Amino acid sequence: MVSLMKKNNFIPIAREVIETEIKSLRKLKSNLNKSFNKAVEALINCKNGKVIISGVGKSGIIAKKISSTLSSVGAPSFFVDASSCSHGDLGKISSNDVLILISFSGETAELRNIIQYANRNKKITLIGVVSKKNSLLYKASDIKLLIPEVKEAGPGNIVPTSSTIVQLAIGDALAIATMKHKKFSQLDFKKFHPSGSLGLKLKTVEDLMLTGNKIPFVNENKKMKEALKIISGKKLGVLIVRNSNKKTTGIITDGQIRRSSLINPDFQNLIVKKIMTKNPVGVSQDMLAAKALALMNNKKITSLYVYNNKNKFKTIGILHIHNILKANVH
């Protein structure tokens, strides 16, 4: 194996493949027209039906990926197997559905029954992703997404490479355009990706914060001897200071307590608001946990009070750096 690697250099081949596919994508970009707008509008307006996608062979694999991406960005979609449609699965396609069929040639035999079925039901919107204008799929489609005829990257122009890349790209473009129109946010995306690395990236402060009786509250008019009992019991090294109206007015850390006790002989009888830090650093419950961690690092602090989105002075939780690190957010 070592001697083979020394004799052969496959990097030029890789660069040639990538360059061929880049040229195909540039061609697709320049060919976009008003049909793309119509396709996005059809997806946006598909509220009483489903988005169904199908293709055969490599186009079928691309169709599955596009279906998954659409579902991830708030446009529920599913893939149907073209062969199975000829044996009962056409029943999955009904009025008000948007049907996307992907075929580079537009003449894939397995798609014929689906095309005929869609054409009989005038309430099904058929979007054809196809490269040939004289094909069955192009002629039968309500919305024609004509992708360019491109040179495949392999020898003989026979291995689906560039053709599948442009199919995938037009599918991603449809998904992201739909997503942006719907103002689909990171929090919306998180609902569909609660696990894995994406789930970690999208965890919010609300997911990790401590709430209820775990929050170390103390009234600003209490004496420090009472505050010491609370900070010792909660074991977070911090106190959230509130007034009698439960408005957050400050914060006290264990570092402040140590420093103040050294210079005040009657420290335990001091009033909390006399030593608290006013205007503490807080975050909203919807902030991404990763951003909260960055804020902690920037401010060189280990805790943040969490406020209600509607009221910055109402503490609903506390976020300690250990909560973030334990969740493996970084």
Answer for the pair 68, 94: CB distance below 8 angstroms, yes or no: no
Q: What band does 1 get if pLDDT is binned at 50, 70 and 90?
A: very low
14-41 tens-digit pLDDT: 999 999 999 999 999 999 999 999 999 9
pLDDT band at 309 (very low <50, low <70, confident <90, very high): confident
Reported as a single tens digit per residue, the pLDDT across 91-145 is 889 899 999 999 999 999 889 999 999 999 889 999 999 999 999 999 999 999 9
**205-326: which CATH architecture?**
Roll (3.10)
- What is the predicted pLDDT for the residue at 33? 95
The terminus-to-terminus CA distance of the chain in angstroms comes to 39
Q: What is the pLDDT of residues 114-127, one digit of tens each?
A: 999 999 988 999 99
| Tens digits of residue pLDDT in 185-202 | 666 666 665 666 666 677
Domain ranges of the chain: 2-184, 205-326
- 2-184 homologous superfamily: Glucose-6-phosphate isomerase like protein; domain 1 (3.40.50.10490)
* Alpha-carbon span 129 to 112, nearest angstrom: 14
Assess whether the region 2-184 and the region 205-326 belong to the same CATH fold.
no
Q: In the structure, what pLDDT confidence band is assigned to residue 76 with cuts at 50, 70 and 90?
A: confident
Residues paired with residue 209 on neighbouring β-strands, in sequence order: none
Q: How far is CA 287 from CA 45, 186, 196, 291, 302, in A?
A: 31, 10, 19, 7, 16
